[in-house]
Structure 1
């Protein structure tokens, strides 16, 4: 290899050259190849293609390199590719099928056409080989994380935060170089996107994906690899891998179950199953009881209705359980056995009918994520759950959501301030005209002032009425680690005094203001990290406001909303 590089470098030394390198797999491969191309004064060029964003960035370093990311095909070119793939050419498509073809095209995502473009040039049989090369190039830890995605059905939108917590619960993630498990897992998620192994979905204000999807061809490969390695066993309408299991079932994803599949499971050894995922379409009454799943680390009932038909006896014996989710189910009450799951790290009760937690919940001192409340796709979020008295003893909590301040005791609100590692906080502040609310807001402010000096990064406070949030004006000392602040309320208030340019990490801001002044606009414009700004105004702007050309230097998405037409903002 070294001899070849030296010969090529000597050959090109005094020449003007154009080199095309197709599909570089890794940064190390580029580091080896690049030394073959001498730098000279003949305006030579190198064009390199890769599926890996990190490799592309590496190719651009140390020179005048430019990275070009291919865009998805337009509707017109998608149509041409579709007709060519199916009929040989656009002219060969029968008129009676064109309308149907156009309907198919409208329902296929652009990213599917990117992969289909390869199929025009490579036989379908060769696609598995190409995808296998990408898979085999992954390091072992990423292979494990990627294989895990086949627990989800085709076209499923996989939320980043849920996936990351599940990876951690499974024991796939270790702390690395001073990074927490959460940070390492999130890096793995973005690595899979950068390597084009999964497709980014719901890209946020900061350019980061909040979810991902697996292309159907990649999913087929992952399922075949999973069966080959006995990594995950599937039970669904279209297929079941239970009969193919060689040895114990390690992880079970139940996307559908009927009497036939239930009889197969009845004869399987389930005591070694590490994770059980039960999807919405499952007929829950046919599922084996939890007493047979004694080694579970991850248990998720996802959007399952009629969960009351399922026998929860034995849940108190799942001593290894790290992750438990009833999200989206019709569950009315938390099973009492959950209070004996002392190793539990995530408890997700969002969008259930559970409105109260037992007092014994505070015994789960290893809990890091305690998530409640209802968050519909349309309409206003709401939470009725009381903050448990004694929550201050749950020192490992990093995220809590859906708790109602006015329904909680003053003591519980005060104890929020003791959660020194808390990063994400979502609370409901409906006052309902209560005279007690004044005391609750004073206690909440005291807790926020304490949390702001610790690790608090994200705060969302919502209200279904016109509850005033102006008490936050006295927030001091400043929450210097805060990255996101959102208020969802019908109440409008002056510009908060604590929002100042000294908050160097604040990137997302969503406010309701009575009006914005020249001074307020100047302060917002000087926020050094602000990427997203949303402001709702109540009144017509009286004075002309000027936005300087150097203001809002980082703003990527300005979603400023005017409830009344203003027209008095001028850019200079």
Structure 2
């Protein structure tokens, strides 16, 4: 057997000794790569044989200053002369460690630009990193950043240690959990949702957490906690008895002081279950079960009588757990069965009258209990599934009487055709609704014409209320041309997404420049024409446009003049179920703020114009993806010439954008990102 094994972040020599014998020693040039923060562990891993140790170098003075000043001032050349000396002293204490530099810079970025203030921070750091780059010294700097947080932000940050290392924490999930826990209050006219989201972004701005999946609007969809920061907040949480972890190497809960208030189960077996069996669980406010095996050993729900948050996300073996007693959780506000194999919701869930969030995404649940409409405080009812499940499961039936759930703000995953006409009509009564994600199938059959008419009527009512996001998925090319009659204009609409294989014959009449709030548009059109692009180009707030088309357009389409004043991302997509191709070029003034571009290039037509795209007219471009398409008999030489011309344009662009060129028919792909970044 020849193998390559990578082991990340080994903490101790004993851990290495425990696992190294699992790897057979042979003469087949196998390799093991291990990473660690401990030099002694590195020596142990490389001891004997052909082992080699590579120690990462710290940043030099120049790169340390660049990182430090860019985080604080936005540029490495903007530091006032009066702060340069104290900056050098601070950087010396950071020892060239990027995490330390970013943490201190983020702290100073929120402080007055005053020398005395910076001197105070320098003195607070101590001398640990000045002497050696130890873990204790790094913790000293991270603690300084932590101590600078407001009490509310400290609470929100500590809460993140319920998740294991490297876990991607979704913003919407975290915000809803913070609110359910009671951490968030309304402030200065801002609702709890907005306040909680501000806290999330503030933790990112202060570099306490790392942003993940930054979207078209510059906002992170999720975050991760650096492993060193995670260890710090775990120690703080244990010290303050804020969160108790089971299965994190701290399974001896019996020796801890105080009551368990929040419990994160990252692993459970019979030994841990027996410890929990002897604990007082009546004060546990949140229970997060991340372990997917042996969940049957978890104590019964009836013992967690004070729960406000119950999260079983991705527990595939949840069917082994006894859900009896869930109706006794009278204070429960957040309940997630997301990603489990649950096919039927416990009937007694309808007694959870304080519930605000019910997350059933990616489950097999097709129908909700009839009495779920009694949950009058419910704000988020999430049943949508990913594309694989949509085809197989077909969405969830809308419960009759849903119009009584007037506090609903977000609905996802409901199937219009499976639902009764009465239930579809009642959607129009949900005046607080902000996000609506629906599935519409039926293939355009006259049998379901009435469903479409009533859905349109409900949407017409909602567009005069608070509706901000509408997502309609048509998995079997079900026509949705009835949307052309949507009126009055949905002035609050920010996001419209059209999923599936149906293509509209023309741009809907309600998509006009007067939609001043629309920032994200994902739409399918049979043909991309100049008039439609002109209308879309006049939309004042549009940041992201994804336009799919389903025809072969044999004439060049040029994007002219001043348009798309705010657009940052543009994606032109060929239909996957039929032959389609287009040749689009950009002229001066078109998409002046565009940063990310993805489009096909019809090489057979573009050849006449020298394969010109006009990338030089996109001054902010930083990422371009081009897919070559052509007639079947187009020669390899023509496609190679097209790729060469595109590379030449990208290389001459002052931003040197990342570029990928793909030819699906030939099966090759070109990237320039590595060579440009290195």
TM-score, structure 2 as length reference: 0.67
Counterpart contact for 1:345–1:368, Cα < 8 Å? yes
Is it true that 1:211 corresponds to 2:227 in the alignment? no
Is it true that 1:284 corresponds to 2:300 in the alignment? no
Structure 2: how far apart are the matches of 1:378 and 1:317?
A: 32
Equivalent position to 1:330, from 337, 341, 363: 341
In structure 2, the residue matched to 1:561 is 573
Q: Which has the higher contact order (CA 8 A, sep 6+)?
A: 1
1:182-193 to 2 correspondence within 5 Å?
182-193=193-204
In structure 1, the residue matched to 2:363 is 352
Structure 2: how far apart are the matches of 1:304 and 1:287?
A: 12
Task: From the superposition, tell whether residues 516 and 53 of structure 1 become closer, same or farther in structure 2 (CA, over 3 Å).
Answer: farther
Is it true that 1:258 corresponds to 2:269 in the alignment? yes
List per-residue Cα deviations over 1:66-118 (Å, max 9, x = no partner): xxxxxxxxxxxxxxxxxxxxxxxxxxxxxxxxxxxxxxxxxxxxxxxxxxxx8
Worse-matched range after superposition: 428-437 or 467-476: 428-437
Deviation at 1:50, TM superposition (A): 6.4
Structure 1: how far apart are the matches of 2:234 and 2:497?
A: 40
Task: From the superposition, tell whether residues 141 and 308 of structure 1 become closer, same or farther in structure 2 (CA, over 3 Å).
Answer: same
Task: From the superposition, tell whether residues 558 and 382 of structure 1 become closer, same or farther in structure 2 (CA, over 3 Å).
Answer: farther
Q: Partner of 1:487: helix, strand, or coil? A: strand
Counterpart contact for 1:541–1:568, Cα < 8 Å? no
Deviation at 1:358, TM superposition (A): 1.1
Is it true that 1:501 corresponds to 2:498 in the alignment? no
Task: From the superposition, tell whether residues 54 and 346 of structure 1 become closer, same or farther in structure 2 (CA, over 3 Å).
Answer: same
In structure 1, the residue matched to 2:163 is 152
Is it true that 1:530 corresponds to 2:546 in the alignment? no
In structure 2, the residue matched to 1:268 is 279
1:453-468 to 2 correspondence within 5 Å?
453-468=464-479
Structure 1: how far apart are the matches of 2:470 and 2:487?
A: 15
In structure 2, the residue matched to 1:67 is none
Worse-matched range after superposition: 339-348 or 557-566: 557-566
Equivalent position to 1:452, from 463, 482, 488: 463
Is it true that 1:293 corresponds to 2:295 in the alignment? no
In structure 1, the residue matched to 2:494 is 483
Q: Partner of 2:523: helix, strand, or coil? A: strand
In structure 1, the residue matched to 2:532 is 520
Structure 1: how far apart are the matches of 2:264 and 2:253?
A: 10
Counterpart contact for 2:246–2:264, Cα < 8 Å? yes
Structure 2: how far apart are the matches of 1:239 and 1:473?
A: 59
Q: Partner of 1:445: helix, strand, or coil? A: helix
Counterpart contact for 1:522–1:551, Cα < 8 Å? yes
Q: Partner of 1:332: helix, strand, or coil? A: coil
Counterpart contact for 1:373–1:383, Cα < 8 Å? no
Deviation at 1:314, TM superposition (A): 1.0
List per-residue Cα deviations over 1:162-199 (Å, max 9, x = no partner): 00000000000011111110110000000000000000
Matched residue pairs, number?
A: 485
In structure 1, the residue matched to 2:331 is 320
In structure 2, the residue matched to 1:413 is 424
Structure 2: how far apart are the matches of 1:396 and 1:223?
A: 36
Q: Partner of 1:138: helix, strand, or coil? A: coil
Q: Partner of 2:397: helix, strand, or coil? A: coil
Is it true that 1:510 corresponds to 2:522 in the alignment? yes
Deviation at 1:336, TM superposition (A): 1.4
Deviation at 1:555, TM superposition (A): 1.0
Deviation at 1:377, TM superposition (A): 7.7
Deviation at 1:567, TM superposition (A): 1.5
Q: Partner of 1:559: helix, strand, or coil? A: strand
Task: From the superposition, tell whether residues 178 and 36 of structure 1 become closer, same or farther in structure 2 (CA, over 3 Å).
Answer: farther
In structure 1, the residue matched to 2:451 is 440
Task: From the superposition, tell whether residues 155 and 568 of structure 1 become closer, same or farther in structure 2 (CA, over 3 Å).
Answer: closer
1:134-213 to 2 correspondence within 5 Å?
134-213=145-224
In structure 1, the residue matched to 2:560 is 548
Task: From the superposition, tell whether residues 225 and 512 of structure 1 become closer, same or farther in structure 2 (CA, over 3 Å).
Answer: same
Counterpart contact for 2:305–2:328, Cα < 8 Å? yes
In structure 1, the residue matched to 2:483 is 472
In structure 2, the residue matched to 1:390 is 401
TM-score, structure 1 as length reference: 0.79
Deviation at 1:568, TM superposition (A): 4.8
List per-residue Cα deviations over 1:298-343 (Å, max 9, x = no partner): 0011111222221111111100000001111111211112100000
In structure 2, the residue matched to 1:571 is 587
In structure 2, the residue matched to 1:65 is none
In structure 1, the residue matched to 2:135 is 124
1:10-49 to 2 correspondence within 5 Å?
none
Q: Partner of 1:436: helix, strand, or coil? A: helix
Task: From the superposition, tell whether residues 337 and 495 of structure 1 become closer, same or farther in structure 2 (CA, over 3 Å).
Answer: same
Structure 1: how far apart are the matches of 2:130 and 2:365?
A: 49
Counterpart contact for 1:255–1:282, Cα < 8 Å? no
Structure 1: how far apart are the matches of 2:131 and 2:413?
A: 50
List per-residue Cα deviations over 1:419-438 (Å, max 9, x = no partner): 11111110000114543321
Structure 2: how far apart are the matches of 1:223 and 1:381?
A: 41
Counterpart contact for 2:246–2:265, Cα < 8 Å? yes
Counterpart contact for 1:406–1:436, Cα < 8 Å? no
Worse-matched range after superposition: 373-382 or 205-214: 373-382
Structure 1: how far apart are the matches of 2:340 and 2:66?
A: 51
Counterpart contact for 1:298–1:322, Cα < 8 Å? yes
Structure 1: how far apart are the matches of 2:290 and 2:67?
A: 41
Structure 2: how far apart are the matches of 1:549 and 1:54?
A: 44
Deviation at 1:244, TM superposition (A): 3.9
List per-residue Cα deviations over 1:330-375 (Å, max 9, x = no partner): 1121111210000000001111111100110000000000011321
Counterpart contact for 1:374–1:381, Cα < 8 Å? no
The CA RMSD over aligned residues, in Å, is 2.9
Structure 1: how far apart are the matches of 2:200 and 2:388?
A: 24
Q: Partner of 1:468: helix, strand, or coil? A: coil
Worse-matched range after superposition: 478-487 or 376-385: 376-385
Task: From the superposition, tell whether residues 346 and 428 of structure 1 become closer, same or farther in structure 2 (CA, over 3 Å).
Answer: same
In structure 2, the residue matched to 1:107 is none
Q: Partner of 1:401: helix, strand, or coil? A: strand
Structure 1: how far apart are the matches of 2:414 and 2:390?
A: 18
Equivalent position to 2:241, from 230, 234, 244: 230
